[in-house]
Amino acid sequence: MGTSLPASAPQKQRAAQTAARRRRLLEAAVELAHEGGYDAVQMRDVAARAEVALGTLYRHYSSKDQLLLAALADQAGTLRNRLAQRPPRGDRPGDRVADVLRRATRALTREPSITAAMVTALSAPESEAAAAKREVFETLRTIISGAVDGASVPDLDGIVRVLGYVWLATLSAWVGGMVDADEMAADLALAAHLLLD
């Protein structure tokens, strides 16, 4: 396969190919997640759709959860950028945080299968993936931080961290069927107002 490509840049060609493979793998994972959630993301199918051998998939992502977490890190970054486009509405910090959480939740619930797949990976125990999970959590906290803006409360970091926990737990509860999307949104708004107003 590689020999059929134009050898335009004989040096970095290899690196570009593996980067393209990684991208195809993430895309395939997201597509399959879109079609059927966590269970539909089967490693053999991901590899086949990305036109990559199964062993290669495992070389890049050492488990299914790591693969989904990498995809989640992507999506979370995109979400953060998209939310940062337009500043949150509201006078009080609690209002602004509630607004940004509401918009984020709307975006996530619009793609329930993808979100479910990724949140499942996020709440899996696998401590090998702790770093990847912390990265996602960090992005969530950044999203919240950006909305707090000028709050005049002490221990702002603690508040943001607690809100991050609540966000994770409500997402997990929604994916697990414990609450529906409306309850999740309501509890998030409640937490924002309780902690910031």
Using CB under 7 A as the binding rule, whether residue 65 contacts DNA is answered as: yes
Write out the two tokens for 167. 């966000």
Q: Which amino acid is at 26?
A: L
Using CB under 8 A as the binding rule, whether residue 162 contacts a copy of itself is answered as: yes
Q: Shortest gap between Cβ of 152 and DNA (angstroms)? A: 46
1-11 as b/e, with b when 16 or more CB fall inside 10 Å?
A: eeeeeeeeeee
DSSP string, 43-82: HHHHHHHTT--HHHHHHHSSSHHHHHHHHHHHHHHHHHHH
- Window of 26-34, 87-95, 142-150, 160-168 that interacts with a copy of itself by CB under 8 A: 160-168
Among 2, 10, 55, 177, binds a copy of itself (CB under 8 A): 177
Using CB under 7 A as the binding rule, whether residue 123 contacts DNA is answered as: no
Only one residue has tokens 């409306």, namely 182
User: CA 172 to CA 16: how far, in whole Å?
Assistant: 36
- Window of 58-66, 84-92, 113-121, 185-193 that interacts with DNA by CB under 7 A: 58-66
- Cβ proximity to DNA: between 45 and 74 the closer is 45
Using CB under 8 A as the binding rule, whether residue 109 contacts a copy of itself is answered as: no
By the 8 A CB rule, do 189 and 101 touch?
A: yes
Positive or negative, the CA dihedral 77, 79, 82, 83 is negative
Q: Where does this chain bind a copy of itself (CB under 8 A)?
A: 38, 116, 119-120, 123-127, 129-130, 133-134, 137, 155, 158-159, 161-162, 165-166, 168-170, 172-173, 175-178, 187, 190-191, 194-195
Q: Where does this chain bind DNA (CB under 7 A)?
A: 2-3, 10-11, 13-14, 17-18, 21, 39, 41-44, 51-56, 58-60, 62-65
